[in-house]
Amino acid sequence: MSEQTDFEISHQVPYYECDASGHLTIGMLFRLLILVSEEHSTAQKVGPDRVKALGGGWVIIDYDGTINRLPKRGETAVFGTRVAAYNRFFVVRDFWVKDAAGTVQVKVKGLFAFMNLTSRKIATIPTALSEPFQLPESRRLPKVARPTAQAVDDQWQASDYRVRFFDIDLNNHVNNACYFDWLLDPLGSDFLLYHRLVGLKIKYDHEVRAGATVTSTFRREGAVTYHQVQSQDGVAAEAEFTWEEC
């Protein structure tokens, strides 16, 4: 059995992928991680078109990551991924971002499932998609830690966000990276400009539809913030972020 290969792309960060601090935004980080994973799959001839032809699509269950430093405007960084493990229903992907010196500055694990697009339910991963992984099926998948369960009460601060036309992607869904903008924006610029995200856990529960309005709530407990995004269909996402002052 040959080893699963790493797949990497080099990307120079333009000004419009950065926030007011001049660093890549968290939403853009995840857009790029999905891009690298799609390009990885395409290089293995199991890209989005092939997945669609098999009647399904990859859906993200949760991410768990740590950030040392995000690339800055104009910086060229390397975005990489590999399949860490999989079983009949789930795939765990490792993601990383390296700076120009080759030092890993961001590490993320993501748990994905294969969804049948007709039934909208999780389905067995077709062999045609798992063969290119060149890995044996795992008995136990590595853990992708989830946010600590929280009971939201009226002490949590709430902000409403209407889904906009440009949040909707080619599959007529809200892009998963948009959730980060909703999750983080309520913290406010005074907090966001003077704190650096160093750890994140995010779990996706329900899709948010075009035309919906979501409520993003959070509470802070020292260096940790807990978040929940709700739509009229229920909880759409939960997150736990760890911060350092900067």
Residue 160 burial by Cβ neighbours in a 10 Å radius (0-12, 13-18, 19+): exposed
Which residue from 10, 22, 128, 148 is in contact with a second copy, where contact means CB under 8 A? 22
Residue 25 phi, psi (nearest 5): -75, 160
**Site size for a second copy (CB under 8 A):** 34
The amino acid present at 154, given as its one-letter code, is D
Q: Which of residues 201-240 bind a second copy (CB under 8 A)?
A: 210-211
CA-to-CA dists, residue 6 to 41, 66, 94, angstroms? 12, 19, 9
Q: Is 20 in the site for a second copy (CB under 8 A)?
A: yes
Alpha helices, H only, 116-158: 127-130
Q: Which of residues 127-186 bind a second copy (CB under 8 A)?
A: 164-166, 168-170, 172, 175, 177, 181, 184-185
d(CA 61, CA 44): 23
- Shortest Å distance, C-beta 165 to a second copy: 5
Q: Which residues bind a second copy (CB under 8 A)?
A: 14-16, 18-22, 25, 27-28, 31, 34-35, 38, 73, 164-166, 168-170, 172, 175, 177, 181, 184-185, 187-189, 192, 210-211
